[in-house]
Structure 1
Amino acid sequence: MRKPWNWLLSTVLSLALVLGLASGAAAEGNTEQGVKHLTILHTNDMHARSIENGAEMGFAKVAGIFDSYRKANPNTLVLDAGDAIHGTTFATLVGGQSVADVMNLMGYDAMAPGNHEFNYGTDRLLELAKGLKFPVISGNVRDKQNDQIFKPYIIKEIDGIKVGIFGLSTPETAYKTHPINVEKITFTDPVKEAQSIVDELQDQTDLIIALGHLGMDKSSEDNSFKVVKAVKGIDLFVDGHSHTLLEKGLLSDNDTLIVSTGEYTQHVGVVDIWLQDGKITKREAKLINQEDSANITPNESVTAKVAEIIKAQEVILAEKVGNTSVALEGAREKVRASETNLGNLIADALLFVTKADVALTNGGGIRASIDQGVITKGEVITVLPFGNQIVTLKVKGADIKSALENGVSDYPNAKGAFPQVGGMSFKIDPAAAPGSRVHDLKVGSKAIDLQAEYTIATNDFLAAGGDEYTMFGQYPQAGMYGSLDEALIAYIQELGSADPKVEGRIKEYAAPGTATPQPEPKPNPEPKPEPKPESNPEVQPVYIVKKGDTLWGIARKHGTTWQALRDLNHLKNPNLIFPGQKIILPAKA
């Protein structure tokens, strides 16, 4: 009996070898009686990473990989699982049009909309979709009349193989984009919609593929695991949303292969499927990264288009707004789980423009770091790309505490709702139950009065109840103060040099009255003679993580496995490493 979520036994190869095997497999499929070979290339969570930058391959290199695979096997599909058209100034300055134009040149066959596709509003997304040369598909996005606003699925015939492809979008979009962006639509149950679509497709197709922007986070109620467990008949599930990196895919009990490429164009996913008489005989999944694609020529048309767009934006983005003598920390894993100096700077900018008592913004809205040195307008917009407006609310102290409890409910796990704050400080007791973790909450230097009224500055996303800050939804707006990026620019210009620190606004500390277990006394051990130092002691080699590194990539470079590095470094989450981190390497024999 197959164990759930077994790793597929396939090897990640260099691109040259991959293409050689792809060509050979295609030829073999053509000569062997009735066997046909289909290649599916897939991306997810690209977030408008348009240019080659470290581990990020950029659109032109990704398109070059697509070209190479199409040449090796004409029976190739190219799919995207969402969150493509938002995330950097390349996209946000023009409402996503730049990425839409580039994806048309790259030759996608279909995509599912992610939550960030809705950041420009549903009407804008539908407008962009009309201009695409490929369909945007999702079966669980409906209007107020309960009609689907996108095609739920498409059927493509490739070399006689009928492939059904359907889309699903995360219901979390309802609170992970500004509520105004989705006020005319609802997100229905992905499981029910998937079951209905699969029932409809089974008699019409040889192969069923789901494009699901659902993710694999356990904290997500509607994730891809839930769908593939409940719905039989899905042969391949191309996933997005959680930025999960699956090197070889996962196989479920229902025989669904789940694949995901991580994030930011750092990988292209490749799935090869062989069929005979309409039945799958073999599946293989792998990833292609920057190193694998070193000899691939970027697509010329995409290269030219990206350069044209960037050139048009240079004047605006290059404007200097100030300086910083320190690196401003905005890494995803940091701002969603801890106080950072950039989070403090942004919160203080809210206080600067509003003169409110306290400020709170969500870590998930901080999308990048800023290097030491000159700060440009483009960097600020990349950090705060959503165009959120600053609002003030007059709220009870009790609701400020409730808001903080919501933000730290998953602590120490990273969560987009994690609060970056100004004008207040608090402590988190991670051992306490969610909803009871915040203590020693102060406004300024004084303990908060839960019954008193305070003016809080926040962004309009949270003020409308986004990221489950529902306690704010009951309060009318007391004022509006422009966008977050404008406020941050104004504050940096006022400072001249922005040099924020981590000040201890948020600390992990056991609540008063929590018993601290005392270790049992141990007998004094017999003294042992100290060993004599060896004449040539071995030094354990260490690797310093760079931007864009993955544990898998580090392992490949040093002739080991990511599992060995995980165990040697006691990493609870092998997908979570950060620049500057020291990774101990196995000692050489």
Structure 2
Amino acid sequence: MKHRRRIVSILLMLALVILPFQTVAAGTLPTGQESLAGTTVIMHTNDSHARAVPNSDSGYMGFTAVSALKKSYEAAGAQVILLDAGDTLHGLPFANLVKGESIVKIMNLAGYDAMTPGNHDFNYGSSTLKEISKNMNFPLLSSNIKNKSDNSDFLEDHIIIEKNGVKYGIFGLSTPETAYKTNPKNVTSIEFTNPVEAAKEEVKELEAEGAQVIIALAHLGLDESSEYTSKLVAEKVDGIDLIVDGHSHSVLEAGLTVGDTLIVSTGDYIQNIGVVIIGSDGAMKADLISASEYTGTDKAVDDKATEYQNEQEKLLSEVVGHTSVYLDGIREHVRAGETNLGDFTTDAFRYVTGADVAITNGGGIRASIEIGDISRKDLVTVFPFGNYVVTKKVTGEAILEALELGASTYPEPLGGFLQVSGITYTIDASKLSGKRISDVKVNGVAIDKKAEYLLATNDFIIAGGDGYTMLADFKVENEFGSIEDVLLEYLKEKGTINQESANRIKIVGLNAEVPEVTETPEVTEVPEVTDTEDESSEDSTYVVQKGDNLWKIAVKLFGDAGKWKKIYEWNKDTIKNPNLIYIGQELRIAAE
């Protein structure tokens, strides 16, 4: 890797003129016993979702630990670059009630050097995010967001920071999924371009400006269902030494090396602080530091956090209802099945709007509610995104398409899995995606594809978020208050919540073998199948395209949908679920 080699030679020369110092210890925490003079430390966080304040029960370290750790490294003689990979300014009342102002002020105190926005950082709207960035003492970076009006850059694309005589070029990358993983209305004036192509241009520009180490500060993630990932950028773009990543909440204990690029990510909620130690020889060592390893705090950060908490506490502590049962909002549950919290929420939507059917995406439910009093803070914590409730008259056919999408990855968790009210249906997990839903009834009557139904949901889903584009073009009937306000109104009527899961969604075929598909759809184009790099093999490789599933690929390649089983057999080592393949995934096609 030419950048890594360049920094090695430069730092070795520097080492000859710097006064002798002890080498970095085997661990990555500063102990106070050794000198870190000449060492550069890249500290990083991602996907904190406004978990700015420590919570020992949950293992959240808060920005106070980040700030204290930075100061500890500096006290030991290291020079530090502190970066954040996004989804930071929104998530809990601490941030939401003041549109991220509290987070920005604390990040300023902690001494951040740069941040790239995540999709949820757009939840206040792109224009608000731009205003928020003016209060940052550090640049908000992204090289692949353009203003639609004139194709100009929405944000600054890169910076160069010099530490220990070495120039670090840092550029931002944002996930194009932001177009539908925030409310689409939040980003109507901007567009997200191809991050791979943007990265190639940034490397060229930074090299021309003299950067010796190039860092991509990315909110792309490693989720294989995403079209663009940090792994893809590492594979396709030469010259990136380090990718500081976010979005998929991946925990990379010692980083992930892809070619000549090191990818690092901490997980989420500041349960870990990421560090990359760059020694005098230029070698990079990645590690994660958890709350069990580091307990340092910064009083200035703690005081600022307390100031905001005190301002908000009186409003948020108001009791608005009561529940006699645990309301289940566990991430893995609401994204892969019906829960009583999902039922309660969608029942509230129907009650307030008078809709025939109500749905909400499991990924929008961010916490559970314990037995006892329900406060405003509980409601805002469960639904932190500031969404409001909308109704539309939609066809039965559109509802069926939405149900199919929500069940498309079952039993794998999916943010778009639907919690429902006013409707019952069956998911047959043994069938291929798109053909799983049956026995659909609206208020006890079989659904009519051609009939119109009044549908209530949140504004994120109704605008096409989470891929629900089949609902986007129908005319809005009415807009209601925030989800919090709707739940408050329902709680006033109910008083005490005591509902268990209502069994609105029936699951069958979970352990059954997926049957052969006898239907052969019309195929207008057969994508090219490229040879593998091993010229001695007669096997070939097929790259999964948008809209593919195994039976469609079988038709494209063999003209026989039934041969999907063979494709599955050839790729069992990489396909865990035959109903779940990903754009860009390479499938082995054996010679016959």
State TM-score, norm by structure 1.
0.80
Could you say which residue in structure 2 is the equivalent of 1:292?
Answer: 293
Q: Write the distance in 1 (CA, Å) between the matches of 2:165 and 2:261.
A: 22
How do 1:33-52 residues align onto structure 2 when only pairs under 5 Å count? 36-52=38-54
Which stretch of the first structure deviates more once superposed, 381-390 or 60-69?
A: 60-69
Q: Write the distance in 1 (CA, Å) between the matches of 2:514 and 2:83.
A: 54
Q: Structure 2: which amino acid aligns with 1:499?
A: N
Corresponding residue SS for 2:123: helix
Which stretch of the first structure deviates more once superposed, 492-501 or 301-310?
A: 492-501
Which stretch of the first structure deviates more once superposed, 482-491 or 75-84?
A: 482-491
Could you say which residue in structure 2 is the equivalent of 1:487?
Answer: 486
What's the % identity of the aligned pairs? 48
Q: Write the distance in 1 (CA, Å) between the matches of 2:275 and 2:499.
A: 43
Q: Write the distance in 1 (CA, Å) between the matches of 2:436 and 2:31.
A: 54
Question: Are residues 1:213 and 2:205 paired?
Answer: no
Q: Structure 2: which amino acid aligns with 1:302?
A: V
Corresponding residue SS for 1:19: coil
Q: Write the distance in 1 (CA, Å) between the matches of 2:185 and 2:103.
A: 23
Q: Structure 2: which amino acid aligns with 1:249?
A: G
Q: Write the distance in 2 (CA, Å) between the matches of 1:224 and 1:413.
A: 22
Corresponding residue SS for 2:63: helix
1:25 Cα deviation after fit: 6.3
1:89 Cα deviation after fit: 0.3
Which stretch of the first structure deviates more once superposed, 60-69 or 222-231?
A: 60-69
Could you say which residue in structure 2 is the equivalent of 1:230?
Answer: 236
Could you say which residue in structure 1 is the equivalent of 2:207?
Answer: 202
Question: Are residues 1:261 and 2:266 paired?
Answer: yes
How do 1:421-460 residues align onto structure 2 when only pairs under 5 Å count? 421-460=420-459
Could you say which residue in structure 1 is the equivalent of 2:184?
Answer: 179
Question: Are residues 1:141 and 2:145 paired?
Answer: yes
How do 1:1-400 residues align onto structure 2 when only pairs under 5 Å count? 18-20=28-30, 24=34, 26-27=36-37, 36-53=38-55, 54=57, 55-144=59-148, 145-203=150-208, 204-253=210-259, 255-276=260-281, 280=282, 282-294=283-295, 296=296, 298-400=297-399
Gaps of 5+ in 1: 1-14, 28-35, 518-571, 574-589
Aligned residues: CA RMSD:
2.1
Residues 363, 416 of structure 1: 8 Å contact kept = yes
Residues 252, 264 of structure 2: 8 Å contact kept = yes
1:90 Cα deviation after fit: 0.3
Q: Deviations over 1:558-584 (max 9, x none)?
A: xxxxxxxxxxxxxx99xxxxxxxxxxx
Residues 143, 184 of structure 1: 8 Å contact kept = yes
Could you say which residue in structure 2 is the equivalent of 1:9?
Answer: none
Q: Deviations over 1:466-487 (max 9, x none)?
A: 1111111121011122111111
Residues 19, 72 of structure 1: 8 Å contact kept = no
Q: Deviations over 1:489-532 (max 9, x none)?
A: 11122111112211221232139x99999xxxxxxxxxxxxxxx
Corresponding residue SS for 1:302: helix
Which stretch of the first structure deviates more once superposed, 110-119 or 456-465?
A: 456-465
Gaps of 5+ in 2: 1-24, 517-575, 578-592
Q: Write the distance in 2 (CA, Å) between the matches of 1:77 and 1:23.
A: 22
Q: Write the distance in 1 (CA, Å) between the matches of 2:243 and 2:432.
A: 35
How do 1:505-584 residues align onto structure 2 when only pairs under 5 Å count? 505-510=504-509
Q: Structure 2: which amino acid aligns with 1:18?
A: T
Corresponding residue SS for 1:478: strand
Corresponding residue SS for 2:267: coil
Q: Write the distance in 2 (CA, Å) between the matches of 1:368 and 1:392.
A: 25
Residues 23, 73 of structure 1: 8 Å contact kept = no
Residues 221, 230 of structure 2: 8 Å contact kept = yes
1:21 Cα deviation after fit: 6.4
Q: Structure 2: which amino acid aligns with 1:199?
A: K
State TM-score, norm by structure 2.
0.80
Q: Write the distance in 2 (CA, Å) between the matches of 1:221 and 1:431.
A: 26
Q: Write the distance in 2 (CA, Å) between the matches of 1:262 and 1:179.
A: 26
1:19 Cα deviation after fit: 3.1
Residues 47, 267 of structure 2: 8 Å contact kept = yes
